Amino acid sequence: MAAKGRHSRFPSRKSSPSTLAFTILIMFTFLGLILLALGILSIPGSTSPDSPRAHDLSSIVHDTVDRSEEDDGEGDRWVEVISWEPRAFVYHNFLSKDECEYLINLGKPHMKKSTVVDSATGKSTDSRVRTSSGTFLNRGRDKIVQNIEKRIADFAFIPVEHGEGLQILHYEVGQKYEPHFDYFADEFNTKNGGQRIATVLMYLSDVEEGGETVFPAAKGNYSFVPWWNELSECGKGGLSLKPKRGDALLFWSMNPDGTLDPSSLHGGCPVIKGNKWSSTKWMRVNEYKV
Ligand SMILES: O=C(O)CCC(=O)C(=O)O
């Protein structure tokens, strides 16, 4: 009997280098499709129908942030992007009702007619463009103020030491702050701390009508904001935010490349009904010595 050869019944096929390369390509394509389907990979430049485009205010993003350990059950704390030019964000329920009342009561006995900075001299002067009254609180003056200042620093990613003291502001019916920039045009005011880079404006009260913070130079179709029908005539002159007790508005006066951002022009619309209490924290590029 003839011995059986060791050959397989199937003819042996030696893969050519091109077949091997093709097989590897197919495998990687398949793997890529799986990762895309799982959302682990994305195609550069592609946007999902849900992702916001710059200037598209019709798709306001709701980014929930971690609830802090200080959560007092007074409403969810979450951050909303309201504009990319200027870069502006609202932190809902940033302050508790008690903190708002605390700041108002600290400021109330010391309110004086607000002033503006004269860009020629760098000195504070009385002006018809700003008719509110206000007062400054020393930075870190007590534990509650320190907590708030720390929260502002965490929100803006700017150290507490770069902040000026909190300003408490009060607007009565008819009072306003005409559109202006927070950055300085003079050298005198930038000696300590450099330029103002960003502002956090906290609303300490609701306002029945008017009193919106308006950005008249904001880019995008600002009439798309969901609260458009609640705005005053002044508020409809730009991207506007209605004051809501406890909410904080963060906006940047400087671009990421360090240039000044003219789209940060902003003002406080006249109060039509009610009272507006707010508190402003201006933050500098460098440490602000107090
Ligand atoms: O009261 C507002 O809404 C605006 C206040 C403001 O512009 C400021 O404090 O710089």
Indicate which residue's Cα is closest to atom 4 of ligand 1.
Answer: 268
- 8 A C-beta contact, residue 195 and residue 230: no
For residue 14, the model assigns a pLDDT of 58
Q: Are 138 and 289 in contact, with CB atoms under 8 Å apart?
A: no
- Determine the atom of ligand 1 nearest the C-alpha atom of 278: 1
- Give the residue whose CA is nearest to atom 8 of ligand 1: 280
pLDDT of amino acid 88? 98
The Å distance, Cα 228 to ligand 1 centre, comes to: 20
What is the C-alpha separation between 93 and 108, in angstroms, rounded?
Answer: 22
By most ligand atoms within 8 Å of CB, the mutation choice from 117, 175, 177 for ligand 1 is 177
> Taking the model in full, what pTM does it have?
0.76
Cα(30) to ligand 1 centroid in Å equals 55
Expressed in angstroms and rounded, the spacing between residue 48 Cα and the centre of ligand 1 is 36
Query: How far is residue 122's CA from residue 118's CA, in Å, rounded to a whole number?
Result: 5
The residue nearest atom 5 of ligand 1, judged by CA position, is: 268
Residue 37 is predicted with a pLDDT of: 61
Q: Which of 102, 103, 77 is nearest to 91 (CA)?
A: 77
> Which residues surround ligand 1 with Cβ inside 6 Å?
169, 177, 182, 201, 213, 266, 268, 278, 280
Query: pLDDT digit string (tens) for 105-146?
Result: 999 999 998 887 776 777 777 667 888 899 999 999 999 999
Query: How far is 113 from 128, CA to CA, in rounded Å?
Result: 11
pLDDT on residue 258: 97
- CA dist., res. 167 & res. 152, Å (int): 14
Ligand 1: residue whose CA is nearest its atom 9: 280
27 conformational bin, left if phi > 0, alpha if psi -120 to 50, beta if neither: alpha
199 Cα nearest atom in ligand 1: 10
The span from the CA of 87 to the CA of 215, in Å, is: 11
State the amino acid at position 10 in one-letter form: F
Choose among 236, 114, 124: nearest CA to 184. Answer: 124
Burial of 261 (0-12, 13-18, 19+ CB in 10 A): buried
pLDDT tens-digit map of 170-185: 999 999 999 999 999 9
Q: Which of 152, 266, 269, 272 to mutate to test the pocket of ligand 1 (most atoms within 8 A of CB)?
A: 266
Query: How far does the centroid of ligand 1 lie from the alpha carbon of residue 16, in Å?
Result: 73
* Minimum-distance ligand 1 atom for the alpha carbon of 213: 3
Residues of the chain with pLDDT under 50: 1-11, 44-52, 58-69
DSSP symbols for 10-55: SPP-PPPHHHHHHHHHHHHHHHHHHHHHTTSS--TT---TTSPPTT
Please report the pLDDT score of residue 209 as a whole number: 98
Which one-letter amino acid corresponds to residue 49?
A: P
Residue nearest to atom 10 of ligand 1 (CA): 182
Helical (H) or strand (E) element with 109 = none
CA of 86 to the centre of ligand 1 (A): 15
Q: What is the pLDDT of residue 118?
A: 73
| Closest ligand 1 atom to Cα of 249 | 3
